[in-house]
Amino acid sequence: MQLLISDPQWTWREWLKGELGGRDLVCLDVSDADHGPSGRVFLMRDGKVRAWRLVGSVHAGRNPVDLLAGAAQMVGLAGEDAVVVSFEVRQAPALRQMALSLVESLGFSRVLVPQGSQFLHEPWLVETESVALDPTLPDSALIAQRRARWLEMLEMCVEHELELDHVGIEGVRLGSGQRLHGSPFDALGAHVELYGQTLLVVGDHVPDDATASEALNLAHASRLHLVSPHSYDNLVCSFVRGTGEDFGIGVVREIDFVERRAVVLNTAVAPAPVRTLRIGSLRIDSTGKETGETKPWAV
């Protein structure tokens, strides 16, 4: 199994056209838009995407947990002679360590690095080869390509309504804690939950000091984290089966915390057997434009 190191200055596109042959391709480059919407890691076999997992960002360092979990999942499904394209390795210590850990943990026999790349001389632990590649497209062209793919995705989406109390939520702070009811919690906002020492409050107003202090004391919490209900609008998301398989991609339209339902645009056929709603950090507007990312665990 070969690992191709993605350096932002070069592209493996033409090399793969000539060298992949009938082998499986695992793509860990979450900015890739050659084979569908970005923000995913995926397994491609016989020219079709056969399995994928949402990472929810076009930047590998934003969500390393789901990226590495997805890498293990896709490589586990791929053939022994698969070709794996890494996420973009940039001059960031965490990304460098993630790439080195991939080689160490997933059993690659060779690492191929673009000729001229500074990452050629990293301690990869296996045989390393440099390959002459074409330069990558300008950022503006890559952004335009991703936008076209997002727009294609949106055109395939249908509306789904999910009951908040009957679906798991991953990727954000929401849904990780125990929901709290009654006084004084109901006065804080439409949704309050406790996880560890933090109260997550979803609401449109800042609670008064007396109510906040009473709630913190009653919950034995030390911190209150306030989030607007609209913070979840337009975040990229996926539907996940009980087996852990992603099967539909789309965006959150809105979450109504009073009615306890989430309205989601998704490519899955309705009604869908959703066990978990996996939410990313990237926002996509109705025209397919990327409009920024949330900070990790901010919402």
| Lowest mean per-residue pLDDT among 94-108, 139-153, 179-193, 235-249 | 94-108
Residue 132: which CATH number? 3.40.50.300
The pLDDT confidence band at residue 282, using thresholds 50, 70 and 90, is very high
**CB within 8 Å of 5: residues ≥ 6 apart:** 86, 89, 99, 111, 112, 113, 114, 117, 119
CA distances from residue 224 to 88, 173, 207, 218 in whole angstroms, order as listed: 36, 13, 10, 13
Tokens of 246: 């992603």
DSSP-assigned letters across all residues of the chain: -EEEEE-TTEE-HHHHHHH-TTS-EEE--TT--SSS-SSEEEEEETTEEEEEEE---SSGGG-HHHHHHHHHHHHHHS-TT-EEEEEE--S-HHHHHHHHHHHHHHT-SEEEEETT-GGGGS--SSEEEEE--EEPPPHHHHHHHHHHHHHHHHHH-EEEEEEGGGSEEESSSTTSSEE--STTGGGT-SEEEEETTEEEEE-SSPPPHHHHHHHHHHHT-SEEEEE-GGGGTTEEEEEE-TTS-EEEEEEEEEEETTTTEEEEEESSPSS---SEEEEEEEEE-TTS-EEEEPPTT--
How does pLDDT run across 192-212, given as a tens digit for each residue? Answer: 999 999 999 999 999 999 999
User: What pLDDT score was predicted for residue 244?
Assistant: 92
Last residue of a domain, one of 82, 112, 136: 136
Could you report the per-residue pLDDT of 66-106, keeping only the tens digit for each? Answer: 999 999 999 999 999 999 999 999 989 999 999 999 999 99
pLDDT band at residue 269 under the 50/70/90 scheme: very high
Residue 141 lies in a domain: no
Report if residue 142 sits inside a domain: no
User: What tens digit of pLDDT does each residue of 209-258 get?
Assistant: 999 999 999 999 999 999 999 999 999 999 999 999 999 999 999 999 99
User: What mean pLDDT is predicted for residues 32-55?
Assistant: 97
The pTM for the full model equals 0.94
Q: What is the mean pLDDT of the chain?
A: 96
CA separation for the pair 265, 272 (Å, rounded): 12
pLDDT at 130: 97
Are 92 and 212 members of one domain? no
Same domain, 167 and 261: yes
Domain match, 184 and 247 both? yes
Supply angle C-alpha 58, 83, 38, rounded to 5.
Answer: 20
Same domain, 93 and 223: no
Domain assignment of residue 64, given as a range: 2-136
Question: Looking at the predicted structure, is the pLDDT value of residue 107 above 90?
Answer: no
| Rg of the chain (C-alpha set) | 21
Residues 156 and 295 in one domain: yes
Residues 110 and 164 in one domain: no
- Would you say 64 and 171 are in contact if contact means Cβ atoms under 8 Å apart? no
Share of the chain above pLDDT 90, in %: 98
What is the C-alpha separation between 279 and 229, in angstroms, rounded?
15
125 contacts 95 by C-beta, under 8 angstroms = no
Mean local confidence (pLDDT), 57-62: 95
Whether the CB-CB separation of 78 and 69 falls below 8 Å is answered with no
Burial 23-34 (b: 16+ CB within 10 A, else e): bbbbbbbbbbbe
Q: What CATH number did the domain enclosing 225 receive?
A: 2.40.30.330
pLDDT at 91: 85
> What is the Cα–Cα distance from 84 to 87, expressed in whole angstroms?
10
